[in-house]
Amino acid sequence: MRVLDFLFSPPCASKRGWLAAALAAAMGAAAPALAANYEFLAAPETDLNRVYRLDRATGEIGACQYGLKEGTVGVTLCYPSGEGAGPQASSEYSLIASRHEREGGVFRVDLRTGMMSICYVLNESVVCTPQAR
């Protein structure tokens, strides 16, 4: 008996769903893991509820935090990319927080070149210092 005949014969019809699920799981396990497009990091300042968002390929960085708004559960306040925080040369970027408990900014690092800059919120946008090493 061929495998397909076996699977589609009436006594084994219920096995088709199980086999399909097993094949799908096996194919999913064999698929390569894809890198995440974004990285998120909380500001190291202990009394600040801000999270930075980094596009890992372009280095563009933004930030959001919780804000109070009377009569609601609150709002998400987001700060767009400002001076120096927009897209950089295509590379592989990451975020690193200092261990300084009063530091509201984070380091944006280029993992390929070793260049880094400090990024923080200033006047309703995220700004970054020029890259250096």
Instruction: Parse the chain into domains and list their residue ranges.
Output: 38-128
User: Is pLDDT of 69 > 80?
Assistant: yes
The token pair that represents 94 in the structure block: 């990451």
What's the whole-number mean pLDDT along residues 109-116? 96
Strand, coil or helix: 24:
helix
Quick one: pLDDT at residue 12?
47
Strand, coil or helix: 30:
helix
User: Is pLDDT of 121 > 70?
Assistant: yes
Hey, which of 22-26, 50-54, 103-107 has the most confident mean pLDDT?
Answer: 50-54
Write out the DSSP string of 72-112. SS-EEEEE-B-TTTS--SSS-EEEE--S-TT---EEEEETT
